[in-house]
Amino acid sequence: MASPTYIDATATAATAEKLPLLGATRPTSAHTVSTDQLNLAGSIVRLKTDATDAATPYPLASLGWYLRACPAPPAAGAVLEIWLPGGRTLLFCAPPGASAQTVVRRAAAACGLAPSQLALFCGGRRLLGPAPLGQAGGVRKGGTLRVVQRLLGGGPELTPEATLTAAFQKFVGADSRITKEGFVAALTHQGGGRAITREEAEARFGRFDVGDDGAVLREAIVKAWTALAPPPAPEAEGVPALGLTRVTAEQAEGALLAAEQAAEETAAMVTAEQAAGARLASEQVAAEAAAVVTAEEAGCLVAEQAATDEAAAALVAALPPHLPPARDVAVSEDTLTRWKKYGGTEIEAVLASGAVALLDAKWLIELSARGGVLRPRQALPDEAFLSLSELHASTEEDLPVVCVSHCWLQPDQPDPRGHNLRAVARALASLTKGGNRIGVFLDFCSIHQNCRDRDGAPQDTAFAWLEKEGRLADGAVGRLPTKSSSSRRSAASAPSTRTRTQRSSCAPPSRPTTMTPASTLALAT
C-alpha cells in the first residue's frame, strides 16, 4: 500500500501566494499558517496527492485540485494523527471546521473517558473550544497533536467560557450588572465567521470606557463584537452589512441572530452539496492512508493504528518530548514486588497514561547546580524524566518518589528565580547520596500546563517567556517527518507489555494523584 505523501500546505509566503483558489491571505511569517482558510487542522496533514506532482516539493497543483473538488471548507480535508493517553494513536479525518472540541470528543470516545478529562495540546499550548483548529495560531508545520489526561483540581476546565469569564472579570469587574452569559455569548459568537481571540477582544475592549452601568457596557460589547465581525461570507447573503458606528444594541443583536441562522443554513447547504465530494475525498484519503481506516459516516474516519506502521514510526521519531520517556530497563521480580508492597500500584495508572511524568532527581539537581529555573512540562527534554520502568527499577527500601509541595510565586512560573529549586535540589542531593534514583513530582513540571500570563489570565499563545527564549520543546515545532526518518524509537516507544495490557492506563486514577502512598516522601518548601 502506498504511503501518503506529506504535503506542506503551509510552507512559505511564496506558497501562500500561489493559493488564490483558497482565498488565502498572506501568512504573517513563513511558518504560521494559512491553515485558517484551509482548515487543515493539526499537525500531520495528509492529503491526497497527485503522483505526477511528486517531483515538486510542494505539489500545489494537487492541493488545488483537491480543494476545488471540495470547496472550502474542505470536507474530510485533514487527516490528523492524534496521540492518546497510553501511547495509542488515532487517525482522525477531520470534518469541516473540526475544532479542538471535536477532536477531544473523538479521542474521548476512543479511549473511554469523558471529554472533560482530556486536554488537547499542540506543542506547548492547549487547544480549546469550538473554533476551527486551523484558526488556532501555532498549529504548525510538522507539529503533533497530543491528547493528554487532565488531572483533578486546578480550577474548572479551561473552557472558552472560563477564559472569557476571566477576561470579563479582568476588564469589567465583579460589580458590573451585565450578565456573564451575555458577555460570553457576545464574544464567542461564531455565526459571522471566525472566533474572536482573547487578544483581539482585549484590544477592542480597551478602547471602551466601561462604567458601572450594565446597559452601557452591553452596548459596548455588542459594538465591540460587530466591529470585529469579518465581512459577510458570500454564502451568507441574507445578512445585512453592519455599520459599525450607527448600529444600536438591538439592531446588532438582531443582526447577530440573523447571521447565526444564515450560517446554520449555509452549513446545512454546504453539507448537502459536499456530501458526495466529501465521501469521495474521504474514500481517497482512506485508500491512501497507510493504516487501515474504516470509513464511517460522510467525512469522518477513525481508526486505531498499529504502532508498527511505517508512518507511525516516522511520527514516533519526531515525538515531542512532553510525554514521559519510554526507556525500558530490566526490572527484577523482587524489585517489582517491592514496588507493589510500597504502594506503587496506586500511582502506576496515572504514570503509565502519561498524565503525570516524574522528574529525575538527578536532572533537577544538575539544573539547580547550573543555575537554571523550572520549565513547564511541555518544555522539558526527555532526559528530565524517569520512565516508568526506570522508576520500577529504582525501588529499593522505599517507593522512589518524592512529591514537592510549594508556593507558586507567579501564575506563569512558580519559581522564577529558582530559589525553591535550590532548596529542593539540596534535599534531593541528600536523599540520593547513595546513587539511588528518585522520581520527583513537581506539578509545574509533571503535569501539562495551561498557559497563563503573569496575572494568571489564561493565554491563547504558548508561554510567552518561553517562546521568546525559543525554548519551547523543539520537537513540538520540529520538522515534518519524512519517510526516511529513522524509526530508532519505534521499538522503545511501543507500549510495553505492561502498559498495553493495562487498558486501565487510560482510566482516571482511582485516587487523586496528590494523594501519595504512605511510603512516598513529601517535601514542602
Binding positions for another protein, rule: CB under 8 A: 152-156, 398, 403, 405-407, 409, 411, 423-424, 426-427, 429-431, 456, 511-512, 514-516, 518-525
Q: Where are the alpha helices (DSSP H) in 88-158?
A: 100-111
- CB of 338: closest distance to another protein in angstroms? 16
- CB of 466: closest distance to another protein in angstroms? 21
If the CB atoms of residues 260 and 398 are measured against another protein, the closer one turns out to be 398
- CB of 354: closest distance to another protein in angstroms? 21
Residue 307 grid coordinates: 504502532
- CB of 221: closest distance to another protein in angstroms? 24
If the CB atoms of residues 109 and 524 are measured against another protein, the closer one turns out to be 524
29 CB neighbour count, 10 Å cutoff: 8
- CB of 98: closest distance to another protein in angstroms? 28
If the CB atoms of residues 225 and 441 are measured against another protein, the closer one turns out to be 441
- CB of 55: closest distance to another protein in angstroms? 55
User: Which of 122, 157, 165, 160 is CA-nearest to residue 143?
Assistant: 122
Q: Which position has the grid cell 496506586?
A: 346
- CB of 367: closest distance to another protein in angstroms? 17
Residue 377 grid coordinates: 512540562
Helix (H) or strand (E) holding 78, with range, is strand 78-83
d(CA 48, CA 34): 18
Residue type, 119: A
Helix axes 214-228, 198-205, angle to 10 degrees: 130
If the CB atoms of residues 227 and 429 are measured against another protein, the closer one turns out to be 429
Q: Give the list of residues 6+ apart from residue 350 with CB closer than 8 angstroms, or none.
A: 149, 151, 356, 509, 513
If the CB atoms of residues 430 and 484 are measured against another protein, the closer one turns out to be 430
If the CB atoms of residues 345 and 405 are measured against another protein, the closer one turns out to be 405
d(CA 517, CA 110): 30
Is 48 within 8 Å of 263 (Cβ atoms)?
A: no
- CB of 407: closest distance to another protein in angstroms? 5
If the CB atoms of residues 45 and 438 are measured against another protein, the closer one turns out to be 438
- CB of 155: closest distance to another protein in angstroms? 3
d(CA 325, CA 5): 28
- CB of 430: closest distance to another protein in angstroms? 4
d(CA 39, CA 45): 11
If the CB atoms of residues 461 and 519 are measured against another protein, the closer one turns out to be 519
- CB of 439: closest distance to another protein in angstroms? 15
Terminal-residue alpha carbon distance, the chain = 57
Task: Classify the phi-psi angles of 470: left when phi > 0, otherwise alpha if psi is within -120 to 50, otherwise beta.
Answer: left
Helix (H) or strand (E) holding 491, with range, is helix 490-493
DSSP letter, residue 46: B
If the CB atoms of residues 428 and 472 are measured against another protein, the closer one turns out to be 428
Task: Classify the phi-psi angles of 275: left when phi > 0, otherwise alpha if psi is within -120 to 50, otherwise beta.
Answer: alpha
If the CB atoms of residues 487 and 519 are measured against another protein, the closer one turns out to be 519
If the CB atoms of residues 408 and 479 are measured against another protein, the closer one turns out to be 408
Residue 108 grid coordinates: 474521548
Across 196-234, b (16+ Cβ under 10 Å) vs e yields: bbbebbeebbeeeebeeeeebbbbbbbbbbbebbeebee
Residue 509 grid coordinates: 486514577
The DSSP annotation for 351-376 comes to: HHTTSS-PEEHHHHHHHHHTT-----
- CB of 473: closest distance to another protein in angstroms? 26
If the CB atoms of residues 177 and 426 are measured against another protein, the closer one turns out to be 426
